[in-house]
Structure 1
Amino acid sequence: MKERIGVFDNDKDQTVNDFYLNFKDKLKETHTFPTDYIFKYIVPAEQSIIARLHSIFDQSNGSISSRDSKNGKYTSVTIKVPVNDADDIIIYYRQAAAIEGIVML
């Protein structure tokens, strides 16, 4: 008999992992791979934060465009990247999620 792993209500990592597993299933249902995938983010308009986001996609052969908000406090960033499978997309999202203040659309 396989031992069951207990999941606690306050286990944030488990909740995040469940989200990414569900997201991976949805990506497989809605996309044919390989494909170009568009990532959209909103970040505080600080050069260090924007540079950190750009560094995640440095080796991706993607195209990056950005636009500052009207008040200049935020920058929206759109990145079009070739991906091989749903795992590639999730890896990019998980790396970006580590950036403080980022909003992933």
Structure 2
Amino acid sequence: MLEPPPERFPGTPHPVRVFERSVYSDRYVFAKNLFEVGHLQPLEWAIYQDWHSFLLRCRERLRRRARSEELGIQLGYLQQLHAQHERWLVEKTTE
């Protein structure tokens, strides 16, 4: 990803690299895989799924309200805020 593509792929005049990073690939690919291989316990997986659903509902609510000051809010930002709240309220970490 950080390196330029090779000058030319055999038989391809214009090489293209596709990188997909989204809350959906995180949920339906990476987190699901962690659960299926045993790195997430059933309770952790359930919490993750609830968290994911909550963020999507929150984003949809922002979209429906259509307030001009909220139009540029990205889901990643909401995830960051959620993680900060978790550290503060659940983990009791204020550093």
> TM-score scaled by structure 1?
0.34
Higher relative contact order (CA 8 A, sep 6+): 1
> TM-score scaled by structure 2?
0.36
**Structure number with bigger Rg:** 2
Structure with more of its chain in strand, by fraction: 1
Structure with more of its chain in helix, by fraction: 2
